[in-house]
Chains A and B, each alone.
Chain A
Amino acid sequence: MRSRAEIAVCLPILLGPFSLIAGTSELPLTAQPSSSVCTSISSTEEFLSVKGEIGQCGGRLIISKRSEPKTLNPLTAIDNISRDVIGLMTADLIHVNRDSQQPEAALAKSWTVSPDGRKYILRLRHGLRFSDGYPFDADDVVFTFQSYLDERTHAPQRDLLMISGKPIAVKKIDAYSVSFTLAQPYAAAERLFDSIAILPRHLLQRLYEAGQLMNIWGLNTPPTQIAGLGPFRLKEYTPGQRIIFERNPYYWKSDAKRQRLPYLDGIAAVFVTNNDAEALRFESGETDVISRLSVANFAVLERDQQRRKFRLYDLGPGLEYSFLFFNLNDLSSDILPSLKEKQSWFRTVAFRQAVSSAIDRESIIRLVYRGRAYPLSVQVTPGNKLWMNRSIPPPVRSLPRARELLRQAHFSWGSGGSLHDAQGQRVQFSILVNTENVQRVQIATLIQQDLKELGMGVSLVSLESHTFLHHVFTSYEYETAIMTLVDPDPDPNTEINVLSSKGGTHVWHLKSNNTPSWQDEIDLLMQKQSITLNLGERKRIFDRVQDLLWQNMPAVFLISPDILVGAKNRVGNFHPVILGDYTLWNVEQLFIHKEPGAERGS
């Protein structure tokens, strides 16, 4: 009997022009066998030697991306795909190791901090070159930070480089030393340097002076006009099909045998339309690595691991969390007039706690994520081992407690079991979800049934993603909504935007003038932790923030899904992590096994 997986693989063929798979099959995009010879490093360059299995040089890795990058400009890229792709071509001064989650030396070989925590001096590696062969020095660093801080560029990272409203002052000390002065001490300031891609001054100085940096490096820019310090450089971009990178011959990392990295000759990223198409490509062997697998596809692919010579990984919960939040904004009466009275429920802490108590997170995990998720009490996930407040109890479903909370808040039940507020108004509201996200629609459907048991009438409103975001961030026309956010880094500073009432993604109080006292306290604590240099003290502050969120529940945190990825057995040094794009954080060390029996799992 033909297996289900085989049937699934055959489907795109049977469907012909209706195939799920984007792009064409004209390109022989298969992982090429290793053939190149590794080059040894020169003595004039200060290499960074990395640990790991010694690999074999050559070969091309095929990956898939669910959409095309919007730009190759590190200054303006905001979407994940663009940033992932740019990450292959660029490097930063200090890099947060995605595995250890700690900052490590990168282009800067070392750094010192002044006793007051305001001044950082970074020593750069000598003899490094951009991917076009041009030397790298302190002028490039100063130019890079000038570019990011230039208001004309509109770089999203600019806000990160403003401490207490003042830009970080960057000064060249000598050709290989740069000082950075902060307006006030900043906790984990080393992490600020992560993902600030160092730009080639020799290529961009003229455009900077003309105020044109926001327009550089589009997808049509010839590869010769793009240079970076990353392990790869752009080779070819075919709209709608693929983007291909080749090895940067000047890359500055080496393995323990003093062989220059990366091992791979190149990387090809093919564009696919959706998660299913991505899984099909991986299953059929067209791609070597897959990140962000859905649980459903994981379940299908899991059965075929041995036969098709790939391996899947469940990395446990990452830094992604889904939550239900209430519209607590101060709104004029013309926006959803019916919302006003519902906000009197939403603003009652006991009501929000009752909703949380009534939600069966275990069912969400079992039915939506097939057991591959973790229930949440607050937004810090178990993946964030350092910053999670372990004194907060895990969420437990309790309808009696939910009823008791509602009773205390003067809600009552009518004859048919429907819930009414103190004014006799029936409790009915809608949950806004994003149609494209299947899991969130499923979560909302389960919550709808859970809350029905409390007598609440809940309806679902599903909108396509742009309209959904418009309702949440611009028009504020919604009652409650379900969203998912991913922290780029475990450090609490990345949460400021969400937790502080002035933050851009502070969804439950986006437009509120009268913040409650607990929110004021969270604002203060988030500010305080950002300037506290003592780690223990910062942890205590952030624990308190989590306590406040747990007690007041401005949002009902639901679950954190496991990170699911996979790679062919022939991909060496594959060690996925829960940060970034999960799979390519050590792309310079990835290699393709030459001998058929040598790979892992054979």
Chain B
Amino acid sequence: MTLGKVPWLAMSVLAICHLSVLLAGFFAPGSFEVQNRNLAFAPPTRIHFVDAQGRFHLRPFVYRWVLRPGSFAEYEENQQIGYPLHFFVPGAEYKVLGIFNSRQHLFGTGEETRIFLLGTDAYGRDLFSRLLYGGMISLFTGLLAATASALLGLVLGGLAGYYGHWVDEVTMRIAEIFLAMPWLYLLLAVRALLPLHVDPQATFFLLIGVLGVIGWARPARLVRGIVLTAKEREYVLAARSFGAPDLYLLRTHILPFASGAALNQMALYIPQYILAEVTLSFFGLGVSEPIPSWGNMLNDLQHYLIWGSYWWLFSPAIVLVAVLLAYYRLFSFFKVNSFTF
């Protein structure tokens, strides 16, 4: 089989994004929740090579932002002291992959000052760190929920297609009900039914669960169609005539045939589910403060003032668009090449 043009750029974007958020604690120079109340809406820290006296420095350095007296959020650099940037600096404690603790950060300036690569939000929290930690919620909700949908669709669609008759009838009618549901409103309704106080971890898994369950219908219908064809193939009929049990046939011959469709759907669902999480958090119904997600970070953009004044708050939107485009590109690639495994 010849592959179409492999979307290396899209795959690189996705790889970088997922790796960065997976190791958010390492890449983030600070904590996502520490409020620097004297640095609300501080612009991105400038990285210098030339100091105020015009001297060149090989090691990049930053100046500390200082609030201009009498202003609300206008800052100037205190050029009296420069803080050199270092790699692998100790800093705030975090968990690597949720397993062990570490204090090593990829870069930073030490304890004296903080570097805000993408500026700060309304509470003076580092946007770059929040973007990385927020990606953990947003990207992995999409990835895990889409995987759940695809697996569920593969199993239920496979069973419906293989056994036919009433199994098929019942499964497909239920699938139609799920397809007809306005999923965003359903999500809002499900969230409203949940207990009042759900901790962020539980919210994360609930979101994955709910999204995964409501999205099974489309892959199930596709898989069913493929299974209906696959089960009549000669090699399947031959295996059956040799006495192969149903489970063996499904596992070895039929479902692998349909897995391409499921993968295809998964690539389509990931961006949709990322968007669903972002939407819910945007409306304040996803994970709650201070845990970041791209949705609740974008919440600030609802306000008129932010649009014109603090452009760096758009950074989650820019990353989100890039990730979504990359996923759609990947989906097109899968679709064109109709992968089967």
Which residues of A come within 8 Å of B, CB atoms?
4-5, 7-8, 11, 275-276, 279-280, 296-297, 299-300, 336, 360, 363, 366-367, 370-371, 430, 432, 435, 438, 441-442, 444-446, 448-449, 459-462, 467, 471, 477-479
Contacts and interface: CB of A to CB of B under 8 A. Distances in A.
Interface class of chain B by DSSP: loop
5 closest Cβ pairs, A-B complex = A4-B308, A296-B305, A276-B304, A435-B284, A462-B284
Nearest to A429: B197
B196 A461 contact: yes
B288 A460 contact: yes
Contact of A467 (B192, B197, B303): B192
14 contacts: A8-B308, A300-B305, A336-B196, A367-B40, A370-B72, A435-B285, A441-B289, A448-B289, A459-B199, A460-B288, A460-B289, A467-B192, A477-B196, A479-B197
Contacts of B35: 446, 449
B284 A432 contact: no
Interface string B290-313: 100000000000111111110000
Contacts of A370: 72
Given A438-B303, A449-B35, A5 B122 contact: no
B307 A430 contact: no
A467 B284 CA distance: 13
Interface residues of B, number: 25
Contact of B307 (A7, A299, A366, A459): A7
Contacts of A462: 284-285, 288
A477 B192 CA distance: 13
Interface class of chain A by DSSP: helix
Given A435-B285, A446-B123, A459-B199, 15 more contacts: A8-B304, A8-B307, A11-B307, A296-B305, A366-B37, A366-B72, A367-B37, A430-B197, A432-B196, A441-B289, A444-B289, A445-B123, A462-B285, A477-B196, A478-B196
Contacts of A449: 33, 35, 123, 290
Contact of B122 (A279, A336, A442): A442
Contacts of A448: 289-290
A471 B199 contact: no
Given A7-B308, A8-B308, A279-B304, A445 B196 contact: no
A445 B199 CA distance: 15
A362 to B, nearest CB: 9
B205 interface: no
Given A449-B290, A459-B288, A460-B288, A296 B197 contact: no
A89 B303 CA distance: 34
Contacts of B123: 367, 442, 445-446, 449
Given A448-B289, A461-B197, A371 B308 contact: no
B283 interface: yes
A280 B308 CA distance: 13
B304 A445 contact: no
Contacts of A444: 289
